[in-house]
Amino acid sequence: MAEIAFRNVNKIYPNGFQAVHRLDLSIADGEFLVMVGPSGCGKSTTLRMLAGLETISSGDLLIAGHRVNDLHPRARNIAMVFQSYALYPHKTVQGNIEFPLRMARLPAAEVKTRALEVARMLELEPLLQRKPGLLSGGQRQRVAMARALVRDPVAFLMDEPLSNLDAKLRVQMRAEIAALQRRTGTTTVYVTHDQVEAMTMGDRVAVFKDGLLQQVDTPQQLFERPVNTFVAGFIGSPSMNLITARREPAGGGPVLVVAGERISLGKGMETRFNLTDADAERVVCLGLRPEDVVDPQLVGEDRRLHGRVALTELLGREQMVYLDLRDGTRLVARLHADRRLKAGEEIAVGIDPARLYLFQADGRALPYRQG
Ligand SMILES: Nc1ncnc2c1ncn2[C@@H]1O[C@H](COP(=O)(O)OP(=O)(O)O)[C@@H](O)[C@H]1O
Ligand SMILES: [Mg+2]
């Protein structure tokens, strides 16, 4: 068992800059956890503290229940794959994979068996006698992973391992790494700034901003129930529309004023929120994913917004429509492409309360309904 736990961990660099604030995060044995966030949010710092390459300013780092803050990187038995694969160019693939075991002075027979086992798992067997110079980028990546895995580490850390690869290979390697992790069951912490990578690979995803963990959840939960406007805007592509809204002081159930128009939420039973009257009063921002904009015919008059088409982008069967709402607010909608829209055209779009997100002044989402 190798559960990893950060307990109130802070990182302050010698120049006084605090890169990680009060981090509390537990990673289960065998889990694939992805850390994601914009550049500079503290992902690499966190990973390097885990690997022992960076000191921890305060708080505790636990591996399998033991405090390892002061344990030498090598004693932690954690494997890290860097962006540059750093393979030995003069050694064969087999020599590269066997190297860590030879350094650990394992018996020759065991070295061979274990290297072969890992090579098989990563489908590197046919390449064992090749030198790295003759391998593709993806193959080199796999050799680097094999070399890390052969030591049977308690955890496997990867910091943006795919950023040097072209788009097509990246998608392929993404699936390969995820599949490999499921086969080995090795606890894995994977860092990326790419939310699509995070959402497709992780059992859970930890979203960071400015050195602060915002939310850690399954991809589904992050998407369905973002805790704040940052996570809401960061997860999903294209980004969620975040539009100023306020509660209309009127009877007949919650009504929001959005871009100068009134949107009826019904009795609150149709939304994903526990919309008490007091909660509804706190709404200052409405979140709407571009793909959740619906046909105005499907909703009542009291659930429509009107705007002028500023721009459209055709994407095969769909189109991205950039709308300027009545008060000038920009709304991005992903609509079916069958209806051709021209710039300048006035259109209505439908709002389905069940798909809305609602936020309060401090950016936090309103309380979601249970279950
Ligand atoms: N050695 C250092 N000294 C001072 N500040 C640093 C150092 N290393 C990183 N930082 C700063 O800490 C913040 C987090 O960096 P990093 O963990 O590399 O972010 P990420 O990997 O999410 O892009 C950044 O603002 C970065 O400039
Ligand atoms: Mg980084």
Task: Give the mean pLDDT of the chain.
Answer: 92
Q: Each residue of 90-103: pLDDT tens digit?
A: 999 999 999 999 98
pLDDT of residue 282: 86
What pLDDT band is residue 267 in, cutting at 50, 70 and 90?
A: low
Span 49-56, average pLDDT: 96
> Hey, whose CA ends up nearest to atom 11 of ligand 1?
19
250 pLDDT higher than 70: no
pLDDT of residue 218: 98
CA 41/CA 47 separation, integer angstroms: 12
**Protein residues with C-beta less than 5 angstroms from the ion ligand 2:** 44
Q: Find, among 187, 189, 96, the residue nearest to 150 by Cα.
A: 96
> Hey, whose CA ends up nearest to atom 20 of ligand 1?
40
What pLDDT band is residue 85 in, cutting at 50, 70 and 90?
A: low
Helix/strand/coil (H/E/C) assignment for every residue in 31-69: CEEEEECCCCCCHHHHHHHHHCCCCCCEEEEEECCEECC
**How far, in Å, from the CA of 30 to the mean position of ligand 1?**
28
Q: Each residue of 269-318: pLDDT tens digit?
A: 678 887 777 777 888 999 999 999 999 999 989 999 999 999 999 999 99
Q: Find, among 28, 38, 17, the residue nearest to 65 by Cα.
A: 28
Beta bridge partners of 209: 212
Atom of ligand 1 nearest to the CA of 37: 22
44-53, 179-188, 340-349: segment of lowest average pLDDT: 179-188
**How far, in Å, from the CA of 193 to the mean position of ligand 1?**
14
Prediction pTM value: 0.91
Q: Each residue of 109-159: pLDDT tens digit?
A: 999 999 999 898 888 999 999 999 999 888 888 898 889 889 889 999 999
- Residues in CB range of 3: below 8 A, 6 or more apart: 26, 27, 28, 29, 62, 63, 64, 65, 187
Pocket test for ligand 1, best of 45, 53, 163, 210 (most atoms within 8 A of CB): 45
**How far, in Å, from the CA of 10 to the mean position of ligand 1?**
13
CA 256/CA 267 separation, integer angstroms: 12
Q: May I ask the CATH architecture of the domain 4-220? A: 3-Layer(aba) Sandwich (3.40)
Instruction: Say if residues 257 and 246 touch (Cβ distance below 8 Å).
Output: yes
**How far, in Å, from the CA of 250 to the mean position of ligand 1?**
49
C-beta of 13 in contact with ligand 1 (< 6 A): yes
Query: Which sequence spans correspond to the domains of the chain?
Result: 4-220, 238-359
> Hey, whose CA ends up nearest to atom 27 of ligand 1?
40
pLDDT of residue 269: 60
CA 102/CA 108 separation, integer angstroms: 8
252 pLDDT higher than 70: no
pLDDT of residue 247: 85
DSSP one-letter code for 132? G
**How far, in Å, from the CA of 161 to the mean position of ligand 1?**
18
Ligand approaching nearest to the C-alpha of 36 = 1
CA 360/CA 242 separation, integer angstroms: 12
pLDDT of residue 268: 59
> Hey, whose CA ends up nearest to atom 26 of ligand 1?
40
pLDDT of residue 339: 86
111 burial via Cβ count (<10 Å: 0-12, 13-18, 19+) = buried
Instruction: Say if residues 365 and 227 touch (Cβ distance below 8 Å).
Output: yes
Residue range 238-359 forms a domain whose CATH class is mainly beta
251 pLDDT higher than 70: no
Ligand approaching nearest to the C-alpha of 15 = 1
Instruction: Say if residues 173 and 138 touch (Cβ distance below 8 Å).
Output: yes
